[in-house]
Structure 1
Amino acid sequence: MRLCLASASAGRLKVLTGAGITPTVHVSQVDEEAILDGMAGAPIAEQVLALAKAKAEAVAETTGEELILGGDSMFDMAGQIVGKPHTVEVARERLRAMRGNSGVLHTGHWLITPRGAVGGVSSATVHVGHMTDEEIEGYLATEEPLHVAGSFTIDGYGGPFIDRIEGDPHGVTGLSLPLFRDLLGQLGYTIMELWDGR
């Protein structure tokens, strides 16, 4: 049995391969902004789950893959959704606001299988260290924070600036292995069935 990852996230792929699961990757072309516009005011957890579901369903419509996992993440900082900044200016502003503070990273997963579909959300509180202006500029120069929810990672250049995490660390990298295992179990599968060489 083989898993299809409906995501372009290098972080999600890294988590899976590190756990002994090498998926195929099919990136969906869903209009995330349109989905979010239709959910204005909804809790962040519902929004990330809706995006994960849309990605998985879009890939399911175009491939013959048996198991498809979609995912999406958003960072909640003082009640404000902090997605991918895309520009240095936005990332700089966010990192300055985040230093010395904490927020909640929500990661939604949607799993589609021949036995049905199920989804869930993993949440973890992330405590950001007191980054100096020099450290922020150095981090921005790597371009890593431009393409990730919350403008930071814990498994790359951003790792040294995260003081601690309360909750599932895998969820912060974009794919919660415990949640994924639970979703598989709800539909009668085991994580071992996906391990390479099985």
Structure 2
Amino acid sequence: MGSGQTPLVLASGSPRRKALLEALGYPLKVVVPGVAEEDLALPPQELARALARRKGEAVEGEWVLAADTVVDLDGEVLGKPKDPEENRRFLGRLSGRAHLVHTAFYLRTPKGVVEEVHTAKVFFRPLSEEEIAWYVDSGEGLDKAGGYGAQGLGMALLERVEGDFYTVVGLPVSRVFALLWERGFRP
């Protein structure tokens, strides 16, 4: 099958996921699913899986990819901060500590659906109040789970990552690429 004429439908409004897939050369059609993100009381890993599935099932297409990323601090979900004050609180709690980032994806192909959750462990270095204020003032963290972006200015906050860095960014790229490749969808 030539993927030139069939786009991969990305059921996500995330500019980061879009950029990662475009960097690999996939023909993309972005469809932002209108689904609620905050109404499920589930453990962090299951929440990520349920939200990815909900987004993927809300979108039409033969080849559909949806994903959701959840930041897990000792079993508590840190979502997208409501405002700069909450962003400041999140970063204060993450400072000097490790947390988990779960990214689930839902991939629908003509050969069926694959759903997986990938987890990475992120270590923040200890942050001063001034550093937290600098980052919050940038505004970068407001639309991101946990209140930071590992691939942007937030890279200054991280000490290290155990696991796939791209899982932290929002898509386990290598795994998604492999699944698409073995199903005949090529960039």
Mark the runs of 5 or more structure 1 residues left unpaired by the alignment.
Answer: none
Q: Take 2:145 and 2:125, find their aligned partners in 1: how far apart are those partners? A: 17
Residues 70-81 of structure 1 aligned to structure 2 (within 5 Å): 70-81=66-77
What is the match of residue 36 of structure 2?
Answer: 31
What is the match of residue 46 of structure 2?
Answer: 46
What is the match of residue 189 of structure 1?
Answer: 183
Deviation at 1:52, TM superposition (A): 0.4
CA contact under 8 A between 1:122 and 1:179: conserved in structure 2?
A: no
Q: 2:13 aligns with which of 5, 8, 27?
A: 8
Residues 1-150 of structure 1 aligned to structure 2 (within 5 Å): 1=3, 2-34=7-39, 36=40, 40=41, 42-60=42-60, 65-150=61-146
Q: Take 2:146 and 2:84, find their aligned partners in 1: how far apart are those partners? A: 13
Mark the runs of 5 or more structure 2 residues left unpaired by the alignment.
Answer: none
CA contact under 8 A between 1:71 and 1:175: conserved in structure 2?
A: yes
* Change beyond 3 A, Cα 1:7–1:175: same
Count matched residues: 182
Q: Take 1:100 and 1:15, find their aligned partners in 2: how far apart are those partners? A: 29
Q: Deviations over 1:16-35 (max 9, x none)?
A: 1222324111000012233x
Give TM-score, length-normalised by structure 2.
Answer: 0.91
Q: Structure 1 runs of 4+ off > 2 angstroms? A: 18-22, 181-185
* Change beyond 3 A, Cα 1:157–1:22: farther
CA contact under 8 A between 1:28 and 1:59: conserved in structure 2?
A: yes
Deviation at 1:160, TM superposition (A): 1.2
Aligned identity (percent) is 36
CA RMSD of aligned residues (A): 1.5
